Structure formats: structure tokens, C-alpha cells
Amino acid sequence: MNKPLRKVAVAGMLLLVILIINVNYIQGSQADKLQTDPLNSRQFAQQWEHNRGPIMAGKVTLAYSEKIGGKDGKEYQRHYNQGTLYSPITGYVSVFSRTGLESAENGLLDGTDKRLALHNWFDMLVGKKAAGATVQTTIDPDAQQAAYSGIKNQTIRRGGAVAIDVKTGAILAMASFPSYDTNDVAVHDGEKANKVFESLNKQKPAPMLNYATRETFAPGSSFKIIDSAAAIESGQYNKDTPTDANRLLLPESGQELHNSDGDEAKCNGSPPLIDSFAASCNSTFGRLALTLKQQTLENMAAKFGFNKPTEIENGVSSATSVYPTKPLGGDSLARSGIGQEVVTASPLQMAMVAQTVANGGKMMKPYLVKRVVAQDQSELVTAEPKQIGQPISADTAGQIQEMMRAVVDHGTASAVLAGRDIAGKTGTAETGIGGINEDWFVGFAPRDNPKVAFAVVTEGPAGSSGAKFSAPIAWRIVQAVH
């Protein structure tokens, strides 16, 4: 072989080797990534070919597949049990997209995940078609029902509620209103699905938005938990430190920061921090924000998870709760101390704040998947609780727990919850939009050995309050938890 031909042959061999390596790379390490790429529309067309495994909450089946033997590979229909109630958890599968756990656990649900390869091989040997795994969630069905019914019946517009296991971070309830029926979008007919999506997208408020995790609200006085944490951690305060609860004139405008969402009769003189917290004195916490300065509050909020999204499961994360990082004027800084104007938080975020306080200062990662099992009941995934931070010391957490108990004993929630085995912080944020208030109750139960942390927000008319509108919902949720 002459020299030029030899060069061509070597080059050809090199190209062939590169091609083989590239094909193996794509089919091997990149296969899953390419299959689930949002731009790959074939994944949605092919999903009806798979016998997707069920999604469960305890003994309740939230989602399952039915063999219908349709044409063009559409062999299975996905069904949702009480789709409106569980839509924030399951999400949906449609001809256009996947959301929620249907997306996060797609490979395990449709049987294509590598962890199911051996199981699928045995099924093929005996002539069975591969089936997906079962995803067991952390959701408590009774708590979920209590949360959804509560916010649906109480809000005049939107609402969200989250309950979390204090020790593990497992999400026990995640309810959102308004909602939608996931069965309406999980249809094979693309034209029909498109009409449903168009109709849902035109509705206001948006029913497909998860108000428990994907929307933020002004937290109002529930943010005083974070103010108090920053104050006590600074070493300048403890729960018994006298505070100035007298009338506060804002430093720039000279306007008064009213105690409208607290017990105004108790907001004067020099009550200890615990009593100012229980009575929700805006004057105290506006001054506290001005004294501590923006950076201190910003740092504490960041330790609790503000200013970054929280991942719940793979590809399922929260909206970002915000404490401002740009310099604030004096008026805005004071208002930030009462959780208004420039501060926003999701119910999930505030439930995590309560969980941290109830857990001695240890913040746990929230999660929805308890375990995943194959058809033969072998476990493929088992949740492992994970601590993701320690925003405050155990001593600070203990003091704030006592302060949250005082809210129920003789503070803003006493008229509704006094004598109940629960602790928390009320919040009422005036939005200035159509006279709507955003009403919160954030806390934990039982009072002395916390097991469940929660956050509930509803929207009420002018004059509504977190104590009246959201606290009763929280009580029903913790009563329902098994």
C-alpha cells in the first residue's frame, strides 16, 4: 500500500473509532439525559406505551395507569385519584409536558430507569411487559385533605399550606388553591389537551400554579420569627430583654408604623421581647430592624433559606423567597422587620422556618418521596433525612419556641387557639391590592415535643387576620396528622 492510501486508511479507521465511541457515549451515558430533554417531544408521544407505576400516599393511590389497548402505541391511560386535591404532589403527564413527581421520578415510573434493568430482563424472560416502579410519597392523606379543604373554604382568592415532619423534613401536606383536575390534561388527544391548557391558562388566579411552593406572599408578622432569631443570635437580646413598644415614626416619611395587625393595647411601654412578639407589636419590630440593620436581617434570612430556591426532588423546587439585598431606606427597612413591602416568602419557606425552630435550630431538607419499590417489592430508593443547615443555636430555638407558645397562650392567637396543643406566629400583610390581606399562621405542634411544623396562608378581605382565617386551618392539619 502506497503512502497516500495508508494515510487515508488510517484516517478512515480513526473516524470509525471516533464514531463508535460517540455512539456508545450517546447510547450509554447520555441516553437518559437526551430522552428527558425538554426539547425532545418524542418522550411525551411515547409515554403512553409504558405501564407507569403508581404514585401512593400511604394506602391511597394518587396516580395509576390503565391498559386500554389504544392505537398508535397509546396502550395506557394515566388516571389521577382526586386530581384537584393532589395536583401539587403528582403533577401530570400530558402530550406536551410532565410536572411534579411524574416528572421528577419519570424513569422509575415508566420503567426505563437503569435501576430497573435487571427486573425488566426477568420480565422479558417470562413474557411480561416491563412495568414501572411504585413511588410512595411522604404525604399524609388526612392532613392533605384538611389543608386543602381549609384553604379552599377560607380564602377569598388564593391560598397555600405546607406541613413538615419536624425531625426528618418529610412533607406531610402540600395544598394549593385554586387548583385543577390533572385528569383533564392527561389525555391522548393533543388538540383536546391544548384546549384544556388554554382554558386553564386564561383563568385568574392561575389554577395550575402551586401556591404552596411556587408562589410567594408577603409574610407579614410571621417574619418576626426571623427578626427574633437575628436579635437573640446577636447576643444583644434574649426573650426577656425589655423592648420599646411605643409609637414609632418612620425615619424618612415621619409616618407612623401602626400596630394594626397586633394587640395595640399591649404595644406601649417596655415589654419584654416575648410579650412584644406575642402581641405582634409592629413598633417593636420596626425599631428592631432599624437597630439590627439590613445586613444582619439579610444574613439571618439567608441562613433560613431565603434568596435561593429550595430543591424538593430532582427538578422540583420552590420559588425563591426574598429578603432584599439592595440597600434599603429607613422606612423600607423598618417595614421589612414586619414582613411587608420588600419581603416575600412561600408557605414552604415559612414551614421550613418553623421546622428549624421546632427542631432545636437544625434545618432539614424537605422531600416528597419516601421510597420507591419495584414490582417484586424490592426497594430501589429509600429517603434519607438530610440536615441542610443550622441557622440558630439550640438555645435560641428554645427561646423562640417559648415565644411562639406565648402567642397562643396570651397573644394574637389566644382568642382562637388558647388551650390547644399548638404554638405559632400570626401574620397579616396588607397588600394594597383590592383590599386583600395575606393572612398567615406559622408554627408547630405539639407545643412541648414538636412533631409537625406548618405554614398556612390565605387571602382575606380588609380586616381579616392570620389568627382568624389561617390559625384554625393549621389546627385542623395537625389534628389530622397520623
Identify the active-site residue in 94, 103, 179, 221: 221
CA–CA distance, 482 with 478 (Å, rounded to integer) = 9
Using an 8 Å Cβ cutoff, are 459 and 447 in contact?
A: no
In whole angstroms, what is the distance from residue 135 CA to residue 62 CA?
10
Query: Rg (Cα) of the chain, in Å, rounded?
Result: 26
Buried b (16+ CB within 10 A) or exposed e, 215-225: bbbbbbbbbbb
Q: Cβ distance 394 to 192 under 8 Å? A: no
Q: Is 26 helix (H, G, I), strand (E, B) or coil?
A: helix
CA end-to-end distance (rounded Å), the chain? 81
Amino acid at 406: A
Q: Known catalytic residue: 221?
A: yes
CA atoms 455, 459, 419, 273: torsion sign: positive
Q: For residue 444, which amino acid is it?
A: F
Cβ neighbors of 180 (< 8 A, separation 6 or more) are 83, 84, 87, 200, 207, 208
Are the C-beta atoms of 315 and 103 separated by less than 8 Å?
Answer: yes
Rounded CA-CA distance 428/437 in Å is: 6
- Active-site residue numbers? 221
